[in-house]
Amino acid sequence: MLVAENINIHVKQGEIVGIYGPNGAGKTTLLRTIAGLLRPLGGKIYFTGIDITDMSARKRVRLGIRYIPDRGHVFRSLSVEDNIRLVHTGEIDWDKFLLKINRRMPAANLSGGQMRLLSLAMAYYTRPRLLLLDEPSQGLFQRAKYDVILILKTLKEEGVTMLIAEQDAEFISSLADRIYIIESGIIKKEVLPNNL
């Protein structure tokens, strides 16, 4: 695992901020540390003005921080609808998440793109205050990437704040308000999307 050093980033409410860099640059380490899955060896992490550096991952979830790993996170043995019902008992806006599939289908039978859409739906229905997305475009065909971009833009319009780690420059540039470039665990610079 790569050690990230001297990381100094900020994400404003309602923004989409990108962390851009190649495999092994420290993107996943950074997101997992913010989510509380890894402990920092130094420094501080603040969320809405609260020092969460020593807070457990479970408590961070209660504050509204949601982490979606690069392969998404669904329960493969459950149906598409049952996955969402684990976190939401009300009405489901199927069209918002482009899930035009058999809702009783086991999640294990979904394509990579459909699984990503289901992960986003599940995260959305937990009412996140900060969504941490690790390489949401990874392994997806262009059409599926486009669907994910549409959904993330819709979530942004609804005020969902996102920090997205990504190595696809076109994908992250189409979404982010600002982008941090990371190399070998160090933030090199902050750029606007059209300067990536």
The reported pLDDT for the residue numbered 34 is: 95
Q: Strands 50-51 and 16-20, how do they pair?
A: unpaired
CATH code: domain 16-195 is 3.40.50.300
Give residues with Cβ within 8 angstroms of 148, minimum separation 6.
Answer: 113, 116, 117, 120, 136, 137, 140
d(CA 180, CA 15): 13
**Percentage with pLDDT > 90 across the chain:** 66
| Residue type for position 93 | D
**Mean pLDDT, the chain, integer:** 90
Rounded-to-integer distance, Cα 179 and Cα 182, Å: 10
- What was the pLDDT predicted at 3? 53
Q: Which pLDDT value is given to residue 191?
A: 94
Nearest to 185 by CA among 16, 15, 17, 19: 19
The predicted-structure confidence for 66-104, as pLDDT tens digits, reads as follows 999 887 788 989 999 999 999 998 998 888 887 777 888
> Which segments within the chain are labelled E, that is strand?
16-20, 46-47, 50-51, 65-68, 130-134, 162-166, 178-183, 186-191
Where along the chain do its domains lie? 16-195
DSSP code at position 123: H
Within 10 angstroms of residue 87's Cβ, the number of other Cβ atoms is 13
Higher local confidence (pLDDT), 53 or 103: 53
**pTM surpassing 0.85?**
yes
Residue with tokens 């902050």: 190
Cα 44 from Cα 7, distance rounded (Å): 10
> CA separation (Å) from 37 to 56, 60, 91?
8, 10, 31
At residue 66, the pLDDT reads: 95
At 48 the pLDDT is 92
pLDDT at 111: 85
